[in-house]
Chain A
């Protein structure tokens, strides 16, 4: 992996998380599934990074790789995951356990099953605290109440004694966020946190998450297929296709000036307000499906679906490279990298 680290615009700090050349492969009977294949990115302290791609693109596996929770037949084959001066890919299980939940927290997609139905939510919030802190039972309770209050659960002292089934989906996801944030982690990985929720409350919860991570200075990796959601929240966006990064850069830049045809396709698939007004534009889609990741074609994996593909694309794998600056003239040069032989140059 040739590219260098990517400092945040106007913020040259050492990154909190630095993933380099990560390969997470699954050795199945049907062949090797290269779920994550040579992925590199940095997350600065307090940064919100959007990890975008279609289903089956290996997004979640990046989260689990960072957490050290890849189960056989999967394995982190290569690469390093630097976090706070340590390489998580080489830590033992005991050390990883002390990091999980305390320094890196993770939340999942489905609030219906994310909480154990048999324990009160107070019990479940306090569990993380009991594990990672030496607080007394009373202090834990107070912190739990305070946290529930912060995530917008009304009457937290009473709600503490309630079971998950007594909460709505949105409220449960708030509880999940409270559990994730209670130990004040330095990094939060949110794996499709709003996908299973009503559209009406998705935005609410994204706002809540953003507010929570900003308040505590936590970095956030937002894994999603919803580019629209990411574009409003993230500082940087990483676009994945078939386990590889196809484009990476500042969020505004990627949305306004996508280089990779795949990113462009994703952006064009977002419905616009004009669509509702008078069906002015036919919603476009990316033709075809994500290919079988075990039998990727030679060359660029996106080539079969790409309108710009040439003979070169079908033979040679494009390398992720930082091309010329985007020239929007503000601050230091923003690094916008793309893996494409024929990147788009015209603004959409």
Chain B
């Protein structure tokens, strides 16, 4: 034992927030126009789906608030448009803008929840496959390969035919397709990390495998996932829209943006374009924003591009 015990002194460290604002990451973000634009779009969408329902004039799914007389009104700037319905109305007199606000909510929730589920499942399986290797690894990765050969539409169709429609089935369909990319990414990084000596060091210091995986491997394989997860929210919104458009997505009582497009599709060629086109534009905008953000994160978090 050392005779003179060193004095323990509290070290002053700036708060997390302040450190974030002073970081290189934030500095690069400020100077990157597409990153700012992307995050602005995503932020506006989030604001819209949280505060929107309190602002728009009607709840499009409360039948009492609908007026069939107001059906198929064009957007406000066209002849016959009403200032009450900025983006026009559909066949039941539903305000298209209000439908979009409510629909975006469902689309985004589906995108985020499915991403979370896929991320959790894929990361867990990827960690197990990469850390333990051997037969378990081969088994998990073969399932991943099989999964990749099923288009999500097919998976959704199977689920719908077996269990009927519903939000949960859409989520299951998306997760069962989406986990593969996490599993592969995580497995790859896990293989790389377990080669490093700090994992060996953790093993020789007697740490149980579970703790090595959670404490040492997992945090070191997370960075690439942030990018995958961000982009995937956009992808999921798109896939869900296609599923709903094909009629194997969300039920009509919980219409997403995709379902709105489908609803308007029937009258699209009668010149009532606004019912479909506006939800479509919003999907495009949302996915565009997410992708801009994802691109920035990829450039920023990939050590090879720095």
| Interface positions of A (Cβ within 8 A of B) | 67, 69, 71-72, 97-102, 104-110, 113-118, 127-128, 131-132, 141-142, 145-146, 149-150, 156-158, 161, 176, 179
Contact = CB atoms under 8 A, between A and B. Distances in A.
A110 B197 CA distance: 7
A290 B134 CA distance: 29
Interface in B217-238: 219-220
Interface string B140-180: 00000000000000000000000000000000000000000
A72 B206 CA distance: 19
B225 to A, nearest CB: 14
B1 interface: yes
Nearest to A129: B205
A97 B206 contact: yes
Given A69-B203, A105-B205, A176-B201, A118 B219 contact: yes
Contacts of A100: 203-206
B220 A117 contact: yes
Chain B interface mostly helix, strand, loop or mixed? loop
Nearest to A94: B208
Contacts of B8: 141-142, 145, 157
Given A100-B204, A158-B11, 6 more contacts: A99-B206, A115-B198, A127-B207, A142-B5, A157-B6, A158-B9
Most B CB within 10 A of own CB, among A67, A69, A108, A116 = A116
Given A131-B207, A132-B206, A118 B220 contact: yes
A92 to B, nearest CB: 13
Given A116-B216, A146-B2, A161-B11, A131 B197 contact: no
A348 B9 CA distance: 58
8 contacts: A69-B204, A72-B134, A110-B197, A116-B198, A116-B220, A118-B220, A145-B8, A149-B2
Interface of B: 1-2, 5-9, 11, 13, 133-134, 196-198, 200-208, 216, 219-220
A106 B204 contact: yes
A174 B32 CA distance: 41
A115 B199 CA distance: 8
Given A108-B197, A142-B5, A157-B9, A102 B206 contact: yes
A101 B7 contact: no
B5 A146 contact: yes
B2 A113 contact: no
Contacts of B200: 69, 108
A65 to B, nearest CB: 12
Nearest to B8: A157
A157 B10 CA distance: 9
Contacts of B201: 106-108, 114-115, 176, 179
B31 to A, nearest CB: 25
A102 B203 CA distance: 12
A139 B274 CA distance: 69
Contact of A101 (B1, B5, B198, B204): B204
B198 A113 contact: yes
B75 to A, nearest CB: 52
Nearest to B204: A106
Contacts of A69: 200, 203-204
B195 to A, nearest CB: 8
A119 B7 CA distance: 22
Contact of B197 (A109, A145, A158): A109
A30 to B, nearest CB: 18
Contacts of A131: 205-207
A56 B11 CA distance: 46
Contact of A105 (B198, B204, B207, B216): B204
Nearest to A182: B205
A128 B201 CA distance: 10
Given A109-B197, A158-B11, A127 B205 contact: yes
Contacts of A128: 205-206
Nearest to B9: A157
A76 B134 CA distance: 18
A141 B197 CA distance: 24
A97 B205 CA distance: 8
Given A113-B198, A118-B219, A101 B205 contact: yes
Contacts of B207: 97, 101, 127, 131
A270 to B, nearest CB: 27
Contacts of B133: 71
A5 to B, nearest CB: 26
Contacts of B197: 108-110, 113-114
Contacts of B206: 97-102, 128, 131-132
A105 B203 CA distance: 10
A182 to B, nearest CB: 10
Nearest to A98: B206
A57 to B, nearest CB: 19
A166 to B, nearest CB: 13
B73 to A, nearest CB: 57
The 9 closest A-B pairs by CB, nearest first: A101-B205, A100-B206, A101-B206, A113-B196, A106-B204, A114-B197, A108-B197, A116-B198, A97-B206
B79 to A, nearest CB: 62
